[in-house]
Amino acid sequence: MAVGNVAVPNTVYPIEGIKLSATAAGVRYKNRDDLVIIEIADTATTAVVTTKNTFCAAPVRILREHFANAAPRYLITNTGNANAGTGADGKRRAIDICQALATKTGVDTSAVLPFSTGVIGEPLNSDAVIAGLDTALANLSSDNWLAAANGIRTTDTIPKLASQKVDVDGISYHITGMSKGSGMIRPNMATMLGYVATDANIAPDLLQEMLSAINEQSFNRITVDGDTSTNDCCVLIATGKASSDVIDSPTHPHYQAVFAALTEVFVRLAQLIVRDGEGATKFMTVKVTGGKTTQECCDVAYAVAHSPLVKTAFFASDANWGRILAAVGYAGIEDLDTEQVDVYLDEVMICQNGGVASTYTEEAGKAVMSRAEITIHIDLARGDASDTVYTCDLSYDYVKINADYRS
């Protein structure tokens, strides 16, 4: 069961210039939607980031090639099969799907971007995907965000949606996005996919810069199990329908408001993945301050967030806080003065100057550990840098879900 507030927004704003559909193609699952198409207006600009996993899936490779050659008009996603570790055959199947959709819609094949998620190393049933195209195209609608969010799920227990509206100088900008992911999560740009659209008019180069910057503080700051998927992809689309005034630089008077709203949507979608981590019972924020650089703060945060010993202690509500110190110690900061390090669990100081805090009690530690949402704050006391990573605990159910994944 997902942790905390994971509700679908009361208002999910349609984005003018975006239509979506979801249908059951029978790729792997029976009687559930597993094929999603997103249609993009020809006025739109699009930005993409993809996994850094060298063994990336065939659709990721094709996506990169197509994105370099044409403006995207259609995004097509299948679930149940990652089409990764499938060699030349997988690439051919991904191209066949793109060509079939391009033929039916009258666009160039390069204007179709493919996405897949699911089991690695098994041939994709591309015939089933192609057979489902007519139904998917017939059902395209600007109001289908929730259906699409459900259609891209694999082991996700909830649809992941976020939506915002921001008014600037009489112009209303709308932002809506969806993501999927629950396990194999440690994006590096789990099986993680993210699609966000806005009706803002944003120049292509700036849109790519915005996506890269926002991604670093959202999808690139989460981990469930430390595994970077072969299929991670994130797309940001700006349809330009809200205004003819192009946001073309950070100095544009509307840039900051739009950037902040986009960031809020991305962070919400990223956190929803962690809240829905496979088997998760705790949502954990690992905040590191007092670092010399952002990178070392990130290294420490991820060392703690990835530690199976830390994660299992939180699952058991066991205030075995020495495991946190051990993770900090192996994070790779060679000149760290451990006698300057302080650690808090929410409001409770557990470690002061590298040792147990004089005010700490086991009862206070256990009380915090019993909460569903906890912040681990580590102060390195060596600089002004800081960073934050979001993670979850490691439960019996995580092992069960992944042991049974292919059955």
Tell me the C-alpha distance between 67 and 45, whole Å.
11
Who's near 28: CB < 8 A, 6+ residues apart? 34, 79, 80, 81, 118, 119, 125
Q: Look at the alpha carbons of 365, 367, 371, 374 in this order and tell me if their dihedral is positive or negative.
A: negative
Q: What is the DSSP string of 64-93?
A: HHHHHHS---EEEEEEEE---S-HHHHHHH
Q: CB of 50 within 8 A of CB of 63? A: yes
Look at strands 233-238 and 18-23 and give their pairing. Answer: unpaired
**How many residues appear in the chain?**
407
Q: Catalytic positions, please?
A: 191
Strands (E), 212-258: 233-238
For residue 214, what is the DSSP state?
H
Q: CB of 3 within 8 A of CB of 281? A: yes
Q: CB of 284 within 8 A of CB of 404? A: no
